[in-house]
Amino acid sequence: MKNTVIQTKTYSVISAVYNVAPYLDDYFKSLTKQTLDFEKHIYLILVDDGSTDASAEIIQTWQQKYPDNIHYIKKENGGQSSARNLGIQHLKTPWVTFIDPDDFIDKNYFQEVDETINAHRENDLALISCHIQYYFEQYRLYLNRHPLKKCFKDEESPSIIQELTEQIQLSASTAIFKTELIKTLHLKFDTNIKPNFEDAHFVNSYLIAYADKSIFFLKSAIYYYRRRKSKNSTIDTAWSKKELFDDVLRLGCQDLFIQAKQKYGYVPVFVQRAVLYHLAWYYRNLMNHNEQIVFLSKEEQARFHTLLQELFQEIDIKTIEDFDFANIGFFEKYAWSIRYKKTPLAYQTVFILKNKKYLMLSYYAHKQEDIEISIDNVPVTPIVELKQAHSFVNTLFINEYYAQIPIKSQDTSLRIQINKQPTYLRSGKMEVKDTLKIAEIQSDKIKRVKQTLHNLARKLLLG
């Protein structure tokens, strides 16, 4: 009888539960109070992965209220992937998602998803990507600041998966999958990929298999990702795990490239970008912080560098050049192109600030390059030149070169070229090609204030 009830519903939510008792009531409230009728349309499969707190009791209390909507499974601890895989075995609805039980969703979440699916039945939708936003538990603060927010545009329409060049999908929690396609593919979460990237591997294995179908990035369906006050989530502790520097890259990233090449003979841009997004965080977190990888032996560090080299061989220069996530800028892109592709980008960038007397210039390169500086077409020789080496996991990543030139007038124009190639002059958020008026250059005092405020906000929110 219960199976008959399940089959009438449209959406299943599979959640792997492990010691999340403090968050479960928020999770259940957000699901049971959906504007899309919960009892009629939504079915929860909660797989308790050996919790030792009060998670089981809380789930069973909610199950008593909604016996036809909540299925509880208890298993020995084996990790999130194994719990989700067990949940997949109990699927009987047309669509499924994998909401984490310490997160929650907007009250209109499933209504927006349902309306989108019904409105685009002719588009052969394989996946709905929902809009992830942060909830900072300590401050009860909601912020639309997730790095992937730019995937969600005001003008929404389905896209053919194989043709994606801008948007990427990495999270199984924020994706609505077609159950039939998962089962046809016999797709499972790889239990050997940890402490992270198991979601990205599952999602992109699905997208590679069904790249001729459509995906919809749905801005109005909001998923709230909880940043815990205790900072003990998987993402918070991942950087201390050796597997992050080997297994994740081999079994997760490299395997996606293998799957793509087996199916298409090449790696589509959307797969390249998904892997590059993951790799970007190694550089953001570890650049000039060799102390953070002291738990890796010299052999493990060398293996990590080899894996990165192999992965970047499958990532095109254009993909690197166009990459615009995770606060990655010219610094990392230029270094990646030189270090891994042995081909510099087609342009250079010089960063410029000023104080009362001087212009301060900086650019990135592996060796000092031929820089031509002129003010109102009169050549200028820098009075100070310095070099700073940037290291990544105990190897030289790239050098930063500094130059200082005097300011004689604010009403003049600065022109710079490096190696006679197109050179962009950047000051604050302004960027122009080759020539910039000195009066428009941002002062270093403004930059210091902005950086101080940014660091303070980051410290408060992220610790």
Highest mean predicted confidence (pLDDT) among 233-237, 401-405, 409-413: 401-405
Of the ranges 22-36, 309-323, 342-356, which one carries the lowest mean pLDDT score? Answer: 342-356
Q: Report the pLDDT value the prediction gives residue 409, as an integer from 0 to 100.
A: 87
Count of CB atoms within 10 A of residue 405's CB? 19
Tens-digit pLDDT profile for residues 92-125: 999 999 999 999 999 999 999 999 999 999 899 9
Determine the Cα–Cα distance for residues 81 and 18; give it in Å rounded to an integer.
12
Determine the Cα–Cα distance for residues 54 and 183; give it in Å rounded to an integer.
33
Burial classification of residue 92, based on how many CB atoms lie within 10 Å of its CB (0-12 exposed, 13-18 middle, 19 or more buried): middle
Phi, psi of 65 (to 5 degrees): -75, -35
Tens-digit pLDDT profile for residues 358-409: 899 999 998 888 899 999 999 999 887 899 999 999 999 999 999 999 988 8
Please give the structure tokens belonging to residue 17.
């539960």
Asked if residue 237 lies in contact with residue 135, where contact means CB atoms within 8 angstroms, the answer is: no
> What is the average pLDDT value for the chain, to the nearest integer?
92
Query: In the predicted model, what is the mean pLDDT of residues 320-326?
Result: 92
CA angle 319, 323, 327 (to 5 degrees): 155
When pLDDT is cut at 50, 70 and 90, the band that residue 442 belongs to is confident
Q: 273 vs 105, 161, 200, 317, 325, CA distance in Å?
A: 27, 13, 11, 12, 9
Q: Report the pLDDT value the prediction gives residue 232, as an integer from 0 to 100.
A: 55
DSSP state of 442: P
Asked if residue 103 lies in contact with residue 28, where contact means CB atoms within 8 angstroms, the answer is: no
Tens-digit pLDDT profile for residues 49-87: 999 999 999 999 999 999 999 999 999 999 999 999 999
pTM of the model: 0.92
Which letter, b or e, does each residue of 2-36 get, where b requires 16 or more Cβ atoms within 10 Å of its Cβ? eeeebeebbbbbbbbbbbbbbbbebbbebbbebeb
Determine the Cα–Cα distance for residues 437 and 448; give it in Å rounded to an integer.
21
Res. 2: pLDDT tops 80: no
- Classify the C-alpha dihedral 234-237-239-243 as positive or negative: negative
Identify the residue whose tokens are 């990427």: 168
The residue among 365, 374, 380, 378 whose CA lies nearest residue 419 is 365
Q: Report the pLDDT value the prediction gives residue 5, as an integer from 0 to 100.
A: 44
The more confidently predicted of residues 380 and 156 is 380
Determine the Cα–Cα distance for residues 272 and 268; give it in Å rounded to an integer.
6
Q: Which domains are assigned to the chain? A: 2-228 (3.90.550.10), 242-339 (no CATH), 351-462 (2.60.40)
Q: 309 vs 245, 249, 306, 407, 416, CA distance in Å?
A: 13, 11, 5, 43, 32
The residue among 53, 58, 72, 73 whose CA lies nearest residue 27 is 58
With a pLDDT cut of 70, the percent of the chain lying above it is 93
Q: Report the pLDDT value the prediction gives residue 450, as an integer from 0 to 100.
A: 56
Phi, psi of 236 (to 5 degrees): -75, -30
Q: Report the pLDDT value the prediction gives residue 447, as an integer from 0 to 100.
A: 58
Determine the Cα–Cα distance for residues 29 and 189; give it in Å rounded to an integer.
27
Largest CA distance in the chain: 87
Count of CB atoms within 10 A of residue 75's CB? 13
- Residues 6 or more apart whose Cβ sits within 8 Å of residue 82: 49, 75, 189, 191
Phi, psi of 333 (to 5 degrees): -60, -45
